[in-house]
Amino acid sequence: MADVVLRVTGVNKRFGGLQALSDVGIEIARGEIYGLIGPNGAGKTTFFNVITGLYTPDSGSFELDGKPYSPTEVHRVAQAGIARTFQNIRLFPDMTALENVMVGRHVRTHATALGAILRNRRTLEEERGIKARSLELLDYVGIRKYADFQARTLAYGDQRRLEIARALATEPKLLALDEPAAGMNATEKLALRSLLEAICRDRITILLIEHDVKLVMGLCDKVTVLDYGKMIAVGPPAEVQRNPAVIEAYLGGGHKDVATKVA
Amino acid sequence: MKTLLPKLSNDRRAAWLATLLLAAVLIALPFVVGHLGGNAFVRALAFTCLYVMLALGLNIVVGFAGLLDLGYIAFYAVGAYVYALLASPHLSSHFAWIAQMFPNGLHISIWLVIPLGAGLAAFAGILFGAPVLKLRGDYLAIVTLGFGEITRIFMNNLNAPLNITNGPQGITLIDPVRILGIDFGRPQSLFGFELPPVYLYYYLFLVLTIAAIVVCVRLQDSRLGRAWMAIREDEIAAKAMGINVRNVKLLAFALGATFGGVSGAMFSAFQGFVSPESFVLGESIIVLSMIVLGGLGHIPGVLLGAILLSMFPEVLRHTVVPVQNFLFGHVVVDAEVLRMMLYGFAMVLVMLYRPKGLWPAPEHGINPASRAGQTAPQRA
């Protein structure tokens, strides 16, 4: 059996009269790039928010790296090893790029208030470690030269990269990216793609929500397609894009020939 | 010879020189001020130190963690009452069993009372902080305002059925500070100088204030300081980075309250008398004004704001009447009236011209747009 990083089953979530998710599940193997796609309003982000603890599900079971976790508190999910980015970038806008990444190290470091006040050797060493690792990560995503820039002054694509660096700083077992390519131009998308491939080569598992079908199809090992809160297809991208239910969800019924051309 | 001097770069040497100069000024200050204006002004200096400590403590809560607290003076009250109760004859004269245990009255050592005052204030900080964690901005301000008033009213009414705080009459005959055999209640002579109690308290408070500044600077530039700033900027993103927002906020409340507690205990010892009247809402607002006027979250700004706002009324009190007598032969405007007028005027000016305070924090990091004289690009 494959080495499973994240196993989620039977997730239901209802907002008032709307069943946003019905019996959604996902199983992600270590080292793969997993895509979660679907038309607008299909429940992708809702599902994302459920597994990262932002929304409380009505039901569902959650297992990370073989250990069950309960996504009730956001910071505990990050502690357990899922780091996420946001669809509409949420950096700490007035902090520098470096400080943003350093905040990401918070969850893996331990200095207390007393340590900070006394500035003992352990605290100072830890602080040096935090800084060094953060600079490394900025280098890794290719924005080291902007380390001392205010996060909000970075170019859009660089802000996305910074958000990824900050997430990586938490040493995640699973990196969950919510539409990282949204609003990017073709060049930026290409650069993002090679960054994600590099992360994947470094054995970090990625869960990707994406609208850009081309990106998902080229990058992902496996995808799940959601529509109206239900899973309509699971499998390798090549297989899924021939699935009639998927084609119908994206293009509506009666466009089969157009769909095959697009695919 | 050059080699005799320690090898310091010019910058460091300048910094050392500046520090030494500042130290000399601060040490000489009470003598100069006392010579010019008498002990009342030295007293004002000592109070300035207490206000600086309060402002630094509130700055942790409001400036660092971004939690608007309008009841901060409650922690000052906690510290003041802890000291007052444990170092005065009040409790032993009202409770027979305490009188039995301490036949000479309660005079507990300052080394015990100050940590206790600080600890209880911190505990009160957590107690008040816990229920309001989910509130933000205006709502938080209103609830903390309520807590502050509750504390004062509590002190005011805790004289029956058991007389614990002596109600509105307050507690008197509080022991002065005694450290290593030096009694701060009497004049001491040092190198031939006769130092009256106000001078001694000024030096004591100065040392505490410097310690408070060091603590604040170190906290700001630490893992915890970054976590506070992250919460202030985007709470959800901070949570997603694994920051336990609840604990980190409570820690801000507790640490801020600690400053209030120590400062309150010192106030109590300095005055020799406490009553609920010293802890009214207006005091919370003055401390908040200090940090807003100076520059929220920026320690030098906070110091400036606290010094200005605590010295200003004293200077006014002692100059308004003589100056008017000199100019007009009689008093036209009362000092108190003039103070409120000037406060209002200053507030309008600050809002118009320095909305971020007189000495706001410099922008964090490089902002290429502001250097080019444009506004920063908005996030998409």
Tens-level pLDDT at each residue, chain B (380 residues): 444 455 566 788 888 999 999 999 998 888 888 888 788 888 999 999 999 999 999 999 999 999 999 999 999 999 999 999 998 888 888 787 887 887 777 788 888 899 999 999 999 999 998 988 888 888 999 999 999 999 999 999 988 888 888 888 889 888 888 887 778 877 877 777 778 888 889 999 999 999 999 999 999 999 999 999 999 999 999 999 999 999 999 999 999 999 999 999 999 999 999 999 999 998 999 999 999 999 899 999 999 999 999 988 888 887 888 888 888 888 778 878 888 888 888 888 888 888 888 888 887 778 876 654 444 444 43
**For residue A91, what is the nearest residue in chain B, using CA coordinates?**
B237
**CA separation (Å) from A50 to A164, B100, B244, B353?**
20, 62, 18, 46
Nearest chain B Cα distance for residue A100, angstroms = 8
- Report the candidate in A26, A29, A35 with the shortest Cα–Cα distance to residue A5: A29
Q: How many CB atoms lie within 10 A of CB A203?
A: 9
A122 touches chain B (CB under 8 A): no
Local structure of A18: helix, strand or coil = strand
Q: Which residues on B lie below 8 Å from A167 (Cβ)?
A: 241
Q: Provide the residue ranges of all domains of chain B, joining segments of one domain with +.
A: 37-280
Write down the residue that tokens 């509409």 correspond to: A88
pTM across the whole model = 0.88
Nearest chain A Cα distance for residue B240, angstroms = 6
- Report the candidate in A235, A259, A196, A247 with the shortest Cα–Cα distance to residue A39: A247
Interface of A with B in 15-54 (CB under 8 A): 52, 54
Q: Do A152 and B364 touch (CB under 8 A)?
A: no
Write down the residue that tokens 């601060």 correspond to: B26
**For residue A55, what is the nearest residue in chain B, using CA coordinates?**
B236
Q: Do B366 and A150 touch (CB under 8 A)?
A: yes
Nearest chain A Cα distance for residue B371, angstroms = 12
Integer Cα distance of A241 and B113 in angstroms: 73
CB A137 within 8 A of CB A169: yes
Integer Cα distance of A71 and A51 in angstroms: 6
Q: Do B236 and A91 touch (CB under 8 A)?
A: no
The region that residue B166 occupies, defined by phi over 0 for left and psi between -120 and 50 for alpha, beta otherwise, is: left
HSE, side-chain direction, 13 A CA sphere, residue B365? 20
